[in-house]
Copies of this chain bind each other. A is one copy, B any other.
């Protein structure tokens, strides 16, 4: 067989995603999904909405952008308009577009060594040079590592899988030292109690903040993400989108996103519940001998003082509880545990007690 036609294949290694077990009766704490459903307004708009599916979606989803600008402006006490908002197919799509739009330097971009594992994958795909300054021994990002010449900066806040969030002083320090490149703050988990850089958008035209509907809005199954930034950055992201796939969201996603963003009360309600469950779970796990950094996210990054992460992972898995474990340097002693319902966390704790005793 002639396989000459394979010579022009792109040279990349397939990225392997985490386990997505299908059994209904498992406790799924491995993908930082919400244990609560989206706002009832989302289900209502899907079931009762009138969608003209024959036609292409709006090329410019202005209603969703207005809704997001209004909501984020009010929350951060600044003035935002639709020109500050970019909408994409989950924040992965948004981040990939931003990497492509803004990181075209010969100098390396900078992001932490322990962070979201998609950053180096996009760099490989888009041939972006990068360096990964090491987190310190307590998993904190050292701002001074980001003072050197670079082609761009990506700071997840809070970081994942460490769950650690940083404050306004830290973010401002990064921005003040990087006025000549684009700085992306990836705020996938920000709503669970972390400082948001959205309030700085009008002060730093090179600041892009990315957020997602997958976590605090409980819509991982709907693939909606957004970026907030100056009109210059947002226009450039639009140009990249329109050079790749003009309609990343369908007509149903666009309306469901508006319904979600307008139901502020429900959003606050489920975020508070997750935070309360997180604090209680952290206390109980600490009592069982786990070390857990203070979490600003919807997950905990837990290391047991005696048992190995791998053994705990396998014990939990055998009992139908899925958490995330990586056999990787620097983090192989820890588990990332998504905050579920109180009942799910009770089962997790009971299962861990059984192992530890």
* A42 adjacent to B47 (CB under 8 Å): no
* A245 adjacent to B96 (CB under 8 Å): yes
Interface size class of A (residues with CB under 8 A): 35 or more
Q: Is A158 an interface residue (CB 8 A)?
A: no
Cβ distance A164 to chain B, nearest Cβ, rounded Å? 24
CB contact list, A49-87 vs B, under 8 A: 51-59
Cβ distance A171 to chain B, nearest Cβ, rounded Å? 16
* A5 adjacent to B205 (CB under 8 Å): yes
* B53 adjacent to A221 (CB under 8 Å): yes
* A56 adjacent to B220 (CB under 8 Å): yes
Contacts A14-B242, A55-B28 known; A179 to B219 CB distance under 8 Å?
no
Residues of B within 8 A of A101 (CB): 9-10
**Cα–Cα, bound, A15→B146 (Å):** 35
Residues of B within 8 A of A15 (CB): 239, 242-243, 246
Interface of A (DSSP majority class) = loop
Contacts A9-B101, A101-B9 known; A251 to B221 CB distance under 8 Å?
yes
**Cα–Cα, bound, A101→B125 (Å):** 10
| Chain B, Cβ-Cβ closest to A38 | B53
* B89 adjacent to A244 (CB under 8 Å): no
Residues of B within 8 A of A3 (CB): 205
Residues of B within 8 A of A35 (CB): 54
Residues of B within 8 A of A4 (CB): 179-180
**Cα–Cα, bound, A59→B103 (Å):** 28
* A105 adjacent to B8 (CB under 8 Å): yes
> Which of B55, B103, B121, B205 meets A220, CB within 8 Å?
B55
Q: Is A138 an interface residue (CB 8 A)?
A: no
| Chain B, Cβ-Cβ closest to A4 | B180
Q: Which of A28, A90, A221 lies at the interface centre, i.e. has the most chain B CB atoms within 10 A of its CB?
A: A221
* A57 adjacent to B223 (CB under 8 Å): yes
Residues of B within 8 A of A236 (CB): 9-10
Cβ distance A227 to chain B, nearest Cβ, rounded Å? 14
Q: Is A34 an interface residue (CB 8 A)?
A: yes
CB contact list, A206-237 vs B, under 8 A: 206, 214, 218-223, 232, 235-236
Residues of B within 8 A of A36 (CB): 54
Cβ distance A221 to chain B, nearest Cβ, rounded Å? 4
* B223 adjacent to A10 (CB under 8 Å): no
Residues of B within 8 A of A55 (CB): 28, 31, 33, 220-221
Q: Is A1 an interface residue (CB 8 A)?
A: yes
Given contacts A5-B181, A6-B232, 12 further A-B contacts (CB under 8 A): A2-B179, A4-B179, A5-B182, A9-B104, A15-B239, A15-B243, A33-B56, A37-B53, A51-B221, A56-B214, A89-B245, A89-B248
| Closest CB pairs A-B (n = 9) | A5-B206, A14-B239, A4-B180, A221-B251, A53-B221, A15-B242, A8-B105, A125-B243, A92-B245
